[in-house]
Amino acid sequence: MSLFERLGLAYLQRRDPERAHRLALLALQIGVAPLSGNVTSPRLACKLAGMPLLNPVGLAAGFDKNAQVVAPLSRAGFGFVEVGAATPLPQPGNPQPRLFRLAEDRAVINRFGFNNDGAEAIAARLEKRERTAVPVGLNLGANKTSENRAADFARVLATCGPHVDFATVNVSSPNTEKLRDLQGPAALAALLNGVMEARAGLAQPIPVFLKIAPDLTDDELAQIAGVAQEAGLSGIIATNTTLARDGLRSRHAPEAGGLSGVPLFEKSTRVLARLSHLTEGKMPLIGVGGISSAEDAYAKIRAGAHAVQLYTALVYQGLSLAPAIARGLDALLRRDGHKTLASAIGTDRTRWL
């Protein structure tokens, strides 16, 4: 981390968390944020659901909710970038304060509630983006007041799908009331059928992933895996934030919302490994939750992930963390004799089962 980035992080961490987020976006927009450029190697280069990636380290949804800084993020060392979540209509989200740093726990609690500019505004920005070697995807959400939330996901995909490289169905945010009810097998099957119909209507169909919660039983995971495979999804993202609060030290621990960061690592990795077992390693999986080092990313891959995503760790370690993890992962693969990422996937899955 450069001195400039260290000073910038120190400044941001003294600001209100949501204001700091806006300032980070502004820094990217005006070109003062540190950008490493692309990071790749023969070991890191891979494919995810048919998409070529320079490296398997992606940015999770939630940072660039409105697709405002796609271009600089595509030069920040990530192998792929996910923006959103987008809903059909603009919505302000939940009342503030709704974002809390848990510094002692290297974690964050948020209850944003899908605040965004709406699918049409986001589509207009995505349409103008320069296509690069870094795939850009969109997280699909539903409006809080919608009378048919399942249809919202298909509507956003139809609007924005022509301008992205992949999409994620997000039925696992804990911050929209009863949204997680859509993870039930019957409701999920109907929702995914609608999304896949919208995908079929695109001039160029794109990969569609499903993002799930970490707070699921083994039986629920098995049902979701079966529904996802039957629907023809491209893969599963494991996981979103958790409602659990085990072992936290911060005074913000009682706040409502989804917990992300280091405390989520073990729970999300166990879900990931279970999904890898259930799908026999045949369905692409993206590991998310608590990654703050190359060793964490490698553990996710060895548990069954085909790629990983970061977000919360960037709050504490800065944007340079992404290329650092990619380079560190390359070194770990080389150390263990892996000529490609693929040969490492799932090699330590049983540890987590």
Does position 173 have pLDDT exceeding 90, yes or no?
no
pLDDT digits (tens, 9 = 90+) for 22-58: 999 999 999 999 899 999 999 999 999 999 999 999 9
Does position 290 have pLDDT exceeding 80, yes or no?
yes
Cis status of the peptide bond prior to 97, with omega within 30 of 0: yes
Does position 207 have pLDDT exceeding 80, yes or no?
yes
Query: Which pTM does this prediction carry?
Result: 0.97
172: pLDDT confidence band, cut at 50, 70 and 90?
Answer: confident
- Say what the pLDDT of residue 28 is: 98
Catalytic residue among 172, 173, 234, 276: 173
Torsion over CA: 305, 311, 312, 315 (sign): positive
pLDDT digits (tens, 9 = 90+) for 252-274: 999 999 999 999 999 999 999 99
pLDDT digits (tens, 9 = 90+) for 111-149: 999 999 999 999 999 999 999 999 999 999 999 999 999
> Whose CA is closest to 71, among 16, 110, 126?
126
* Host H or E run for residue 285: strand 285-288
Asked whether 175 and 257 are in contact (CB, 8 A), the reply is yes
- Say what the pLDDT of residue 333 is: 98
> Whose CA is closest to 62, among 281, 310, 328?
310
End-to-end CA distance of the chain: 36
Does position 174 have pLDDT exceeding 90, yes or no?
no
CATH number belonging to the domain at 3-352, selected among 3.20.20.70, 3.10.180.10, 3.40.50.300, 3.40.50.2300: 3.20.20.70
Does position 9 have pLDDT exceeding 90, yes or no?
yes
Instruction: Say whether 173 is catalytic.
Output: yes
